[in-house]
Amino acid sequence: MGPLQGLNVIEFPAIGPAPFCAMLLADLGANVLRLDREEDAKLGIERPRKFQIANRGRKVLKVDLKNAEALKLVRALIDKADVLIEGFRPGVMERLGLGPDDCFARNPALVYGRMTGWGQTGPLSAAAGHDINYIALTGALDAIGRKDAPPTPPLNLLGDYGGGSLYLALGVLSALWERQSSGRGQVVDAAIVDGALSLLGSHIGMVAAGISSRTRGTNLLDSGAPFYDVYACADGRWIAVGAIEDKFFSQLASKLGLDPEAALKQKRSDWTALRKTLAEKFSARSADAWQSEFDGTDCCVTVVNSLDEARNDPHLSARHAFIELDGVAQPAPAPRFSRSIPEAPRSPAASNTAEDALADWLDPGAIEDFRTAGAWKI
């Protein structure tokens, strides 16, 4: 059983970072009930349910939050919950009568997780947006990309999931820890702009110290340094080099047939010449040939795998890093625990009845009462 076994979580309908946070909790054993809309809101990217990996691991109850009986049911569920997760714009839950004050009056120990891009306050709090907008505002997007090229959107990993989901999960678990001493819940205001800025902290410090410049593609970790970049191989694949430290770079130079001392001088004073040298060397052989050359060394060199190649990578295979649900290969739950080992997640395409979804939350008599009252469509 996972380490979060016994934790009851109510998840309101949302896209992106809120469902991903709920998935992380469910992956680790939390009992998450997802409340879905009866009608599709046409948000996010349409795809069949089994490919909606962030929705795995929980049962689903479809409700109309404008239905008075459905709201009574939702409030009954909130009474039983440890955690509530919602990703609406600020004010929506309050207008439904499900805001923090309403919920704390019923369940003072509830941890109320709010996931937004801009935050609950501020001039932009009510505005629409997506990952690219949030990281653009923080300066993160401006820092990513090559010199003299436009900023490069890093999928939606940095904002939605890094600055959003992970910080919401951290906030929720921190509030649960604090609850052990206070006995009280609280609101967790997880804004992607806050999380993305937090992730930028090290880079901001390096710029302030004069170690990095404000010009993207000219610095140590943004493709500016030739010893921290990717290079084309003879077969059209790519190799990733991360030999920052001199002791690792010296090994790299030796494996490439270069004089380590001369290469170290270039590393410190002539990045243009060093980049040309490395590009010429790596272009002479295939990626697999280079990987064989560097296996067992501390040169900090790896082949750039495609997603299909990653699934069959020997290291990831040895760690069972992928699982398969309904024929869809996907990442296994993370992180790993030595004792509290979670069960395999429920497929996002798995179906359930309303009664089945509620069985872990309400007694059979209450479920029947809500059914006959019309709390959900039959």
Report the catalytic residues. Answer: 130, 160
The whole-angstrom separation of Cα 343 and Cα 326 is 16
Q: What is the DSSP string of 296-350?
A: TSSS-EEE---HHHHHT-HHHHHTT-EEEETTEEEEPPSS--SS-PPPPPPPTT-
The whole-angstrom separation of Cα 257 and Cα 357 is 63
Give how far Cα 247 sits from Cα of 152, 253, 264, Å.
31, 10, 10
The whole-angstrom separation of Cα 176 and Cα 293 is 49
Structure tokens, 38: 């009866």
**CA angle at residue 327 from 326 to 331, to 5 degrees?**
90
* CB-count burial class (<10 Å; 0-12, 13-18, 19+) for 172: buried
Write the DSSP symbol of residue 87: -
Residue 320, Cβ neighbours under 10 Å: how many? Answer: 9
In the chain, the DSSP E strands lie at 8-11, 31-37, 59-63, 83-86, 111-116, 187-191, 228-232, 238-242, 301-303, 322-325, 328-331
The whole-angstrom separation of Cα 41 and Cα 59 is 19
Quickly tell me which residue has 């040298």 as its tokens. 277
The whole-angstrom separation of Cα 14 and Cα 164 is 13
